[in-house]
Amino acid sequence: MRLQGKTAIVTGAGSGFGAGIARRFAQEGARVIVADINLAGAEAVAAEIGGLAVACNVADGSSVAALAEAAQAEFGGAPDILVNNAGVTHLPAFMEEISEADFDRVIGVNAKSIYLMAKAFAGGMKARRSGAILNIASTAGVSPRPKLSWYNASKGFVITATRAMAVELAPFGVRVNALNPVAGETPLLASFMGEDTPEMRAKFLSTIPLGRFSTPEDLANAALYLCSDEASMVTGVAMEVDGGRCI
C-alpha cells in the first residue's frame, strides 16, 4: 500500500500502459481518476479498480479544464500524482510525407498536453508544496527510429519538458520524472510497425537486447516507484524501461 491515501490522475488510462498504471496505483491504495478520450475504455478500467472515469481530450484546453473541475470535485484539489500517459503516433513514412493533420495531432496529444496539464494542475501542487508528475516519453526521444520523425521529436520534447519542469518545481516540493518505454504490447504497437506481421515483430524485437516488448506491468512497476515516497530524492530523471534498447 505504497500509495495509501494518495490521489492520482492517469491520462490515456482506458487501455495500454495507462490502464496498467491505473490498476497498479489502485492496488497500492490510491484513488484514481481514469482519464481517456475513449470514455467507454475509461469506464471499464474505472469500474475494475473503483476509480472515476472522465472523458478527456488532453490536446484541448477546455477538455483539460473540465478534467481539473472533476478532480476538484473528487479530490478537493490537485491530485498528489499526475501521470501524463496519453499518446499517439503517425504511421511510419518519410518525414515529408506526413500530413499536416497527423503532425498537429501528434504534437497536440504528445507535447501540448504536457503544457495544458501543467497549466491545470501545477499551481495546486505548488500551493500544497507537494506532488509527483510523471510524463510517459519514449525511447524514440533518445534513439529515434527512421520514418517516425515527428513522433520521435514529440517525445524528445517530453524528455526536455520533464527536466525543465523538474528544475522549476523542485523548490515547491513537486517532483517531475519521465519513463522511456520501448515499443510495447499496447494498441499503438501496430501503428509503430506499420503492419503487425511476424516479420515486422521480429525486426523490432531484434533491436531489444532482452528480446521482448515492454508490457503495461513493466511501466506500472516503474511508475509506482517514481510516484511513491520511495523516490522522494528523484526528480528530472528520464528512466528507460526498454530491455536495453538504448544502450
All structural domains of the chain with their residue ranges? 7-238
pLDDT surpassing 70 at residue 190 = no
Quote the pLDDT of residue 191.
67
115 is catalytic: no
Tell me the DSSP string of 222-241. HHHHHHSGGGTT--S-EEEE
For the ranges 187-191, 195-199, 216-220, the lowest mean pLDDT is seen at: 187-191
- Is residue 192 over pLDDT 80? no
Dump pLDDT digits (tens) for 103-129: 999 999 999 999 999 999 999 999 999
- Say how many C-beta atoms besides its own lie within 10 A of residue 21's C-beta: 32
What cell does 16 get? 495500454
Q: Quick count: other Cβ atoms within 10 Å of Cβ 244?
A: 12
Q: Which residue has the cell 517532483?
A: 175
Fold of 7-238: Rossmann fold (3.40.50)
Q: Which helix (H) or strand (E) holds 177?
A: strand 174-181
What three-state secondary structure class fits 8? Answer: strand
H-only helix segments in 171-215? 189-193, 198-205
Q: What is the pTM of this model?
A: 0.94
Q: Which residues pair with 32 in a beta bridge?
A: 8
Distance of CA 34 to the CA centre of its chain: 12
> Which among 85, 35, 37 is positioned nearest to 227, based on CA atoms?
85
For the stretch 125-165, pLDDT in tens is: 999 999 999 999 999 999 998 999 999 999 999 999 999 99
Residue 183's pLDDT is 82
Cβ contacts of 123 within 8 Å, gap of 6 or more:
78
Residue 214, pLDDT above cutoff 70: yes
Q: In what order do the strands lie in the sheet with 7-11?
A: 52-55, 31-36, 7-11, 81-84, 131-136, 174-181, 238-241
Q: How far apart are the C-alpha atoms of 119 and 123, rounded to whole Å?
A: 7
Q: DSSP letters of 9-56?
A: EEETTTSHHHHHHHHHHHHTT-EEEEEES-HHHHHHHHHHHT-EEEE-
Q: Exactly one of 151, 157, 192, 213 is catalytic; which is it?
A: 151
Q: Is 12 exposed, middle or buried (0-12, 13-18, 19+ CB in 10 A)?
A: buried
